[in-house]
Structure 1
C-alpha cells in the first residue's frame, strides 16, 4: 500500500515534463500564427487592440506596454521553454543508434528531407521549405492587402481636398505607409535565422547554417518593401510640394531623415549580399554587413520605441547571442598541433574541455589575429567529441586568400611555434538524426568531405562503445587529383585509435577525375607540427558551461525582467510626469535611445554574470587538461617537429581504412546508379560539395519513386 501511495504521489518524470513543455510550445506557435493573421484585420485594430491597450496603458509602460505584451512576451517565453526542453532532451534524451524513442526534433528534421525544387532561383527547396515560403509570402500579401483596404476605406475626395491633396496623392500616402508596416513584419522574422545559439530553430528541426538561406529570403523581401516604402514617399513629397520633409527630424512621430539613413545602410548591405559580390568579394560583403548596427539604430529612431517592439523579440535573442559570442571571442584557445596534407589542406587540432560536446557536422568560427583581426571564417568540425573528448579538429582547404596565408605560415621552412587563435562556437544540430537510417550515403566533392569525417568518427565511436549495430556507411568522395586522396587519412584522429574500422560497415569509393593513374613522382608526405603552449591560451570550453541551454534561458528571462523594471521606473518617474502618455511632448528619438540603452545594459549585465559564474569551473577543468598535456609523450616532440603520418598512425586502423577504400581514376561516379543500388528501408543521402553536385543528387532523390532516399544538403556557400 505504501509503495502504491508513493507511486501515486511521485513527481513528473523528465519525459512527462518534456511532453508538457512541447505541448505548450505548440500552443504558443499556433497562437503566434493566429496573431499574425488577424493583426491587419479591421476587427483587431478597431475593437480588440483598443480594448487591450485601454487595460495595459499604465503609467509604467504607456502605449508600448500593449505591444510588449502582444508581440514580445510570447516569443521570449517560447525561447525560454525551448531552452528548458533542449536541456532536458540533452540530459535525458535517447540519441543512441537504433533507438526507437525518436524525439519531436528528429521527426521535424525528417519533414525537410525530400526536395521539390532544384534548379529554381531559390536553390534546393524541399516540400516543407516550399510550404513555409508560400505561407510567408501569403502572410505578406494578406497583410498588405488588408492593411491597404482598411486604410483606403477612410480616404475620400473630401478628406483629400481638406488636406490640400488630390485623391491619388492621399492614396499613395496610404499605400506607402502600409509598405513600411509590412516591411516591419519582415524585420520581425529577419534575426531568428542568424542567431547561432538559438533555442527556437532546433524546435523546428533547423540548424543555424541551414537557416541562413531563410535570412537571405526574408532580407530580400524586407529590402524590397522598405525601398518601395521610401520611393513612394519621395514621389508623394515631390507631388505635394513637401520636398522639405526629406530632412525632417521630428521630436514626436515619424523622423523621416532617420528612416532615410536607415534605408541607405540597408541598401549598402543589400547590394553587396547578392551572390555575384558575396562569393567573389567576400570581404566587401562582410565589412558592409556590419552596417546592420546603423540600420537598426536609425530604424528605431525612425519609427520610435513603440512600433519597434514588433521587431524586438528576434532582435533581443540575436543581441543575447551576439554578446555571448563577443565574450567567447575574447579568449585565446590552445592550438595543440597542425597536420599539413600534400594537397595543401590543413587540419588544426585544439585542446578542449571534456564537458564541451557537439554533434557531427557542427561548425566553429575561427579568427587568427596575425592574418586578420576582424575576419571570422566558419569551418566544419571534423572530430567527434565522443571519440576524443579533449581535442577538437577542423580542416581548412587553401582555397581563399585567408586560408592560403595560413598554409604559407605553417608550411614555411621555419614554421611558427605558437599561433594565437580565437574560436566562437561550436554550433550544430541538437541531435544526430541521421543515425536513425539503415544506410547512410555521403557524397562529397573536394573539401566537402569535411563534415562526413565527423559523422564517420561518431558512428565508429558509438559502434565501439555500445557494440550495437550501426548504419551501413557509403562514402562517395570525388577529388580532382590523387594528392587529394590524402584527405581520407584525416578519418583517423591525430593520435590514432585503438580499434579498427571493422566495428562498422564502411565502404569508401574515391574518384580522381583529373588523373588516369596514381601520381608517384615528387609526392609530399603528411606532416605534423606541434605548437608550444602559452600561458594565456586555454582549452575551448562551453561559454555557459555544460548546462548551457538552462543558463541561456536564465539569461533571456532575467535580463528581460530587469529591462521591464528599468523601463517602468523610467516611464513612471521621468517620462510620464512630462507627457502623461500623450506622446506629444517627450522626444520620441530620445525615448527610443534610452530604451535601447537599457536593453543592451540588461543583456550585458546578466550574460556577464552567468559567464563569470561558469568561468571558475572552466578554469579548474583547463588546469587539469594542462596538467594532463604536460605528462603526455607528445609534449616531448618539441614545438615544430615534423612527423610522417605512417609513423604516427596505428597500423591496424590504417590497414582497415585502406581495405575499405576503392579508388577510381579518370572517371566520375554514376550517382544515379549507385544510389539506386543502395539497400535499406531508410537511406539517408547527405551531400556536400559544388552546386552542380548538390543539385544532381537532389534530382535523383526527388525522382525516387519509392521515397526511401532522405536528402540533406550540407552547404556553406552563402
Structure 2
C-alpha cells in the first residue's frame, strides 16, 4: 500500500506542468471548436446555390491537381478537417488523462448548465437530457433545411416546358428530383452514423461521452437514415416505372451512378434495420448481431453507388470506425490470463483476469468478452467491477446467468473438471475522467439485480481515494433491489479479494438491500458465516495467455493520433501517385476512361491498406513492450504451497471466504417483502448537490428519472448507466 502511495505522489504533476497542460488543452479546444463550426457551416451551405455555383467551382479551380483530380476538393472539405479534429482530440484527452483537468471555470460552467442535464421522459427516445433534445432538434432542423433547400432550388427549374423536353409530366419530374434529394439528405445522416459506435474514439471523450452511452444516438440516426434511404429507393423505383425506365434498375454505369450498387446497399440496410427493432433485437439477439455485420456490404455498395468522390463526405466517421475496428481485431486475437473465479449460489460468477499495472480504466468501464468454446463469433459486453487503482494487477467482471450464452458460461466455470478457459477480450472502454464521482456531496446509487456491478467498481475506487490517497469522498448510499435473498451474496463482492481492508470512519457508506419476493429472511444475514458459501475456482493459464494490457501502451491516445495522421498521409500519397501515373493518363486518352467502380474499389483498398499497416505497426510495437511487463508478472506468479493446488494467482493463498466483511455488514440493512420508496429516500437528502446514479431494468431507470425531473428537488443530479444494446 505504501509503495502505491509513493507511486501516486511521484506521478502527481507540478503546478507549472498543470498550468502548461491547461493552457495547451484550452488552445486545442479552441482549434477543435473552430474546425467543428466550420464543418457544420459546410454541411449547412452544401445545398445552397452559393456553395454549388460559387464556392465549389472556385475550389475546384484552385485545387485542380493531376494527383487528386476532382476528389481532392471533397477530401479537403470533409475528411481532412474531421481527421485533424480527431488527432487534436487525442492530444486533448491525453493531456487530461495525464495531468488532470483542474479547471474551475469549466466546473462552474457545468453547474450553470445543470438544468440542461436534467432528464426528460420522451416516448420513443426514453431517458434524455435537455441538451440531447436540443441537439436532436438541431440535427433534425439541419435535415429539414437541407431537404427544403434542395427541393426549392430543384423545383424552381421544373416547369411544363422543361418536363416536356424529356418526355415527362411535371409531377413525374418533381418525383424524380425529390427522390434524388432524399438520398442526398440521407447522406448527412450517414456522416454521423459511425461516431457513436467507435468505442476507442477520441471524439466521444472530447465531448464528455462514452461509447456505451452513445449507442442510443447511433440508433436514432440509423432509424432516420434508413427512413430517408428507403424513401429514396422507393420513390426512385416508382419514378422509373411511371416513366417507362424500369431497365434503369439493372444499370451499372461505368462513369455515372451505379443503380445496382444502390439497390444492393439498400437491401443490406433494410435487413439490418428490420432486425434492429427492439422486439426482434431482444428476442433474437443473435439474429440482430449477425445481421448487423452486413454494414460492410452496405458501405461497399453505397460507395459503388455514389462514387468515391461523393462518398468522401461520409468518409471521416467510417474511417475512424474502421481504424478502431481493426485495432479491436488485433487485440481480440490474443488470449488473456483468466486466473480465478468466484461462484455465487445465485447463478452469478466473478471472473478475475491478470492485468498489466500499466492498464488504467475508470469506474463504470466495460469490456467485450468472447469465449470460443461457447461461440467463436459472439461478443458480449460486461461491466468491470474492479478498480485499476485499488487492484493494479487484477481485472474483474461479474456475470449473471440470464441468457443462454451467460448460462453456458456459468455452467462451465462452475464445473469442477474445468482447469482452463480460453477467453479473448476487447477493451476496456469507459469514461476518461472520474471527476463526476467527486462533483457531489452525496451519491445515491440505485441498482436493480446485476445493475449493481458498476457501483461495485465505484465503491472500490472511493475506497482507494479515501484509504490510500486520504481524499475526502462523498457520502455514499447504495440502494440495491433483488428478487431473492440468495442474490444478497453479490454484496460480498464489493470488497476485493486481493487485500484485507478494514474501512476507516472517514469512508461513509450506507447499503440498503431490498428483497422484493420474500417477506422474511431464509438465512441469518446479520451473520456472514451463515450465508451460502462463495466457491472459489482456480485456473491454470496457458503460457501463451497474457495479462490484459493497453492495446497501444500507456500513451495510447498519442499513438492513436499518430495512427490516424500517418495512415491518412500514406493513403493520400498512394492515391496521389496512382492517380497521377495510372488514372490520369487513362482519363485523358480519347478512347478510354477509368471507370467509377474501379476508382472506388482502388480507393477502398488503399484506405484498408493504410489503416492495416500503420495500426499493425503501432500495435505490435506496443505488444513487445507489454510482453516484457507480462514476463515480469509471470515471474512473480506460480503455485503457492500454502494455497490451493491449482493456485496460479497472486495472493491465492488467502481464503477468500474468510476475509472480514464486518465494515460493510454494519453499514448494511436488508428489507424484505418491499420495494424501495425512492422518492422518499432521495428527498430526505438535504445536501446542496446530490448525484443520483441508476443502473438496472428500464422501468427502474425511468422511475428514478421521473423523480429527478419532477422539479420538487433542485439538488438532484441524474445520471443513468445503461449497457443494453
Question: TM-score, normalized by length of structure 1?
Answer: 0.94
Separation in 2, partners of 1:349, 1:553: 32
Residue matched to 1:533: 541
Is 1:620 aligned to 2:628, yes or no? Answer: yes
Q: Which runs of 5+ in 2 are unaligned?
A: 1-15, 525-529
1: CA distance, partners of 2:454 / 2:89:
26
Deviation at 1:363, TM superposition (A): 0.3
Contact 2:262 2:301 in 1 (8 A): yes
Query: Are 2:718 and 1:711 equivalent residues in the alignment?
Result: yes
Provide the rounded CA distance (Å) in 1 between the counterparts of 2:611 and 2:264.
26
Report whether the alignment pairs 1:274 with 2:282.
Answer: no
Q: Specify the alignment match of 1:114 in structure 2.
A: 118
- Residues paired across the two proteins, number: 703
Q: CA deviation at 1:503?
A: 3.7
TM alignment of 1:49-448, pairs within 5 A: 49-94=56-101, 113-116=117-120, 118-412=121-415, 414-432=416-434, 433-448=436-451
Relative distance call for 1:704 and 1:108 in structure 2 (3 A) is closer
- What is the Cα deviation at residue 483 of structure 1? 0.3
Distance 1:408 1:602 in 2: 43
Match in the other structure for 2:55: 48
Does structure 2 retain, via aligned residues, the 8 Å contact 1:528–1:644? no
Change (3 A) 1:613 1:408: same
Structure 1 residue 646: Cα displacement: 10
Report if aligned partners of 2:638, 2:648 keep a CA contact under 8 Å in 1.
Answer: no
Structure 2 match to 1:575: 583
Contact 1:497 1:650 in 2 (8 A): no
Contact between 1:105 and 1:203, CA under 8 Å: does it hold in 2?
no
Following TM superposition, by how much is the alpha carbon of 1:347 offset from its aligned partner in structure 2, in angstroms?
A: 0.4
C-alpha distance in 1 between matches for 2:393 and 2:414: 26
- SS, match of residue 307 in structure 2: helix
**Correspondence for 1:669 among 669, 676, 698:** 676
> Conserved in 1, the CA contact under 8 Å of 2:90 and 2:558?
yes
CA–CA distance in structure 2, aligned partners of residues 429 and 331 of structure 1:
24
Which piece of structure 1 moves more, 30-39 or 492-501? 492-501
Deviation at 1:164, TM superposition (A): 1.3
SS of structure 1 residue aligned to 2:351: strand
- Shift in alpha-carbon separation, 1:367–1:484, aligned structure 2, 3 A: same
Report deviation, 1:495.
Answer: 2.5
1:560 is the counterpart of 2:563: no
- SS of alignment partner, residue 515 of structure 1: coil
CA contact (8 A) 1:109 1:206 kept: no
- When residues 336 and 144 of structure 1 are mapped into structure 2, their CA distance, relative to the original with a 3 A threshold, is same
Aligned to 1:487: 490
* Residues 20 and 500 of structure 1, relative CA distance in 2, 3 Å threshold: same
SS at match of 2:312: helix
* Partners of 1:342 and 1:523 within 8 A in 2: no
Residues 1:533 and 1:111: Cα distance change in structure 2 (over 3 Å)? farther
Contact persistence 1:512–1:667 (CA under 8 A)? yes
Alignment-derived partner of residue 657 in structure 1: 664
CA distance in 2, matches of 1:587, 1:107: 56
Q: Is residue 372–residue 422 contact of structure 2 (8 Å, CA) maintained in 1? A: yes
Q: Aligned-pair distance for 1:11?
A: 13
1:40-60 deviations in Å (ceiling 9; x for gaps): 111111111111111112111
Alignment equivalent of 2:685, drawn from 678, 690, 701: 678
> Mean Cα displacement is larger for which, 584-593 or 214-223?
584-593
Q: Secondary structure of 1:450's partner?
A: helix
Give the deviation of 1:681 after TM superposition: 1.4
Q: State how far apart, in whole Å, the 2-side matches of 1:269 and 1:583 are.
A: 42
Q: How far is the alpha carbon of 1:533 from its aligned partner?
A: 2.3
List runs of 5+ in structure 1 lacking aligned partners. Answer: 1-8
Task: Give the RMSD, CA atoms, in angstroms.
Answer: 2.4
Give the 3-state SS of the residue equivalent to 2:38 in structure 1. helix
Give the CA deviation at 1:149.
0.9
The CA distance in 2 between the partners of 1:583 and 1:597, in whole Å, is: 27
Report the equivalent of 1:6.
none
Q: Which residue of structure 1 lines up, in the alignment, with residue 611 of structure 2? A: 603
Pick from 501, 506, 511 the counterpart of residue 509 of structure 2. 506
- Tell me which moved more, 703-712 or 581-590: 581-590
